[in-house]
Structure 1
Amino acid sequence: MIVNKNIKVIVSDLDGTLLNSNHTISDKTISVFQKLHLHNYVIIVATGRHHLDAMPILDSLGFPVYLVSSNGARIHAPDKKLLYSFDIKSDHIQSVLSIDIDPDITTVLFKEDIWFTNKYNKKLNDFQPEIRYRPELVNFNELEDYAGIKLLFTHENHSKLLAVRDRILEKHEGLFNHAFSLPFCLEFMDKSVDKSVAIANILELENFSFQETLVFGDGYNDENMLREAGIGVLMDNAPQSLKELLPQLEITTTNETDGVANYITNKIINSKLELQQ
């Protein structure tokens, strides 16, 4: 039985959702999304990744899609034209970086075509099979222009990131939106930036509503778009705390077992074939 005849738009996160542990889209998932494209579904990929990082990955799908990147700070059309751009103000970032932050934490300031960091971090670089834009080691006290797309703090110790989050929010109430895209990645964007807001802008362009969306995600930066979705689906590899926060959502199999492709095949593609018989 078809999951919802009104679904016209498919939205998916990347890491932990559409991508496997090799940071690639499997052949099975590519095949499923190509079928969706042939059936005229609007496809939106919404990721915390920088657009220069995400675009080469999405090229493997073999057809153009909407890209929401940096958690909503950028929107690119299927033809890769920039539709929306919103940065954090320079003085806001400078104020955050003036806080005494544990030097063991990797701090990254993402700009349009480069990212500044206080230290080399192999784990971050491994997220890019081919580095399309390179990190530059900097002393954050010596920058002239601090404006950027987002700030990222990463460390294996989640409690250290929680301490940084609390310190920043205490001193900068109402200035930022923040999320843990992964347990070891804390990201700050301008307060107006969120994946759900960016998706709403695309839906307006396409004359659709959130009620016509099927949304997949696995992280806290996916929470709002999952809540807004006509149908929201969590990956089985999502944190247990997120599953408990969103108990109304369905759960599909993990990203390692093509959970997005499996759900779409069973609930969308096969159901369409049944209706046509």
Structure 2
Amino acid sequence: MTHKIIALDLDGTLLRSDNTISDYTVDTLKKIAKLGHQIVIVTGRPYRMSIKPYKRLGLGGPMINFNGALTHIPETSWTGELNVKIDKNYLFEVLENYDAFETDFLASEYQKNFYITMENRQLIPPEIFGVNHITDDMRLIPEKITRDPNALLMQTRAHDKYLLADQIQEHFQNGIEVDSWGGPLNILEFSPKGVNKAFALKHLLERLRKDKQDLIAFGDEHNDTEMLSFAGTGYAMKNASKALLPYADNQTKYSNEEDGVARQLAKLFL
């Protein structure tokens, strides 16, 4: 059997709603990895928010963060690393349209740190930034933004985050990518133009000398559309957004709360 690259989104896909991974899923994925298949986390989350599931699965290879803006091997120097940035001027313009975009908070994300607006500090869940507490030194003020970020992360109170994403892209004349996170939070993520999960996976497959027909991908949200379209086989989760279904080859029988990824992979490989 040809060894596969298995690309897994986190929120709403591999992770349950409490951000955990079941023992069954861990054991199943480790068995599949022992067969020679490579499991790759592909997420909108930054590195610091995805290292815990990465380590829980016992992974040692590449991981993709920021919806494709960062491809790397955690804590390792790797010649295949790809680190793409978004022009910081987009951040300044989002700040100028803060109220028009119905923003709760906006974060400027980097590989190792972030800055965040704090007008609604009580609405910021520290865990989605991989920290225990939001502290004053994390406050986003324009004077701190001297480097281009990997991504911008915004929580909005808009009723329809998909419509807002389209409106923001139109505002910026499609000069950037705006996608939604899976899971219960009303989160939008801004990425550099042309950068998405498929962009990063294409780079990774070239480094690994694999064909996209060797790629199996699982996702649940709008930011997984390119990945599922690109993969040789793309699975939308049972709980997936309806916006994703046209891009998937199949849909899992079980949701993220029911170990849907592991059950489907066990059916394929074990």
TM-score range, shorter chain: 0.7 to 0.9
Aligned to 2:218: 216
Matched, 1:91 2:89: yes
Alignment partner, residue 72 of structure 1: 68
Give the partner amino acid of 1:234: A
The match for 1:180 is 180
Shift of 1:69: 0.3
TM-score by length of 1: 0.84
User: Closer, same or farther in 2 for the Cα pair 1:77/1:133, shift >3 Å?
Assistant: farther
Query: Which string of whole-angstrom CA distances, capped at 9 and with x for unpartnered residues, describes residues 107-160 of structure 1?
Result: 1211232222112255632446x6279565535444442621111221354336
- 1:9 aligns to 2:5 (yes or no): yes
**Superposition CA RMSD, Å:** 2.6
Q: Deviations over 1:30-67 (max 9, x none)?
A: 11111111111122110000012111221011231320
Bigger Cα displacement from structure 2, 186-195 vs 118-127? 118-127
Q: How far apart, in 2, do the equivalents of 1:73 and 1:95 lie?
A: 20
Q: 1:162 to 1:80 in 2, by over 3 A?
A: farther
Deviations 1:171-202 (A, max 9, x none): 32132012112361111110031111111111
Are 1:229 and 2:225 an aligned pair? no
- For residues 91 and 104 of structure 1, the distance between their equivalents in structure 2, rounded to whole angstroms, comes to 18
1:17-32 equivalences under 5 Å are 17-32=13-28
Query: Are residue 263 (structure 1) and residue 264 (structure 2) matched?
Result: yes
SS at match of 1:240: coil
In structure 2, relative to structure 1, the CA distance for the partners of 1:247 and 1:30 (3 Å cut) is closer
Cα separation, partners in 2 of 1:35 and 1:121, compared to 1, 3 Å: farther
Tell me whether 7-16 or 74-83 shows the greater mean CA deviation: 74-83
Given that 1:94 and 1:146 are in contact with CA atoms closer than 8 Å, whether structure 2 keeps it comes out as: no
**Matches of 2:247 and 2:147, distance apart in 1:** 36
* Cα drift, residue 249 of structure 1: 2.6
- Specify the structure having the higher radius of gyration (Cα): 1
Q: Which amino acid aligns with 1:217?
A: G
Q: 5+ unaligned residues in a row in structure 1: which ranges?
A: 270-277
- How many residue pairs match? The answer is 262
Identity percentage of aligned residues: 26
| 1:186 counterpart SS class | strand
Q: Which blocks of at least 5 consecutive residues in structure 2 are unaligned?
A: none
**Inter-partner Cα distance in structure 2 for 1:158 and 1:45:** 29
Pairing 1:192–2:188 present = no
CA distance in 1 between counterparts of 2:112 and 2:74 reads 20
TM-score by length of 2: 0.86
CA contact (8 A) 2:180 2:221 kept: yes
SS of 1:15's partner is coil
Indicate whether 1:44 and 2:45 are aligned. no
Cα deviation for residue 6 of structure 1 reads 4.4
Q: In structure 2, how many angstroms separate the alpha carbons of the residues matched to 1:132 and 1:80?
A: 25
2:139 is aligned to: 138
- 1:113 corresponding residue in structure 2: 112
Moved over 4 A (4+): 132-137
Asked if the contact 2:69/2:84 (under 8 Å) is kept, the reply is yes
The structure 2 residue matched to 1:34, chosen from 30, 35, 57, is: 30
SS at 1:107 equivalent: strand
Contact 1:106 1:121 (C-alpha < 8 Å) held by counterparts: no
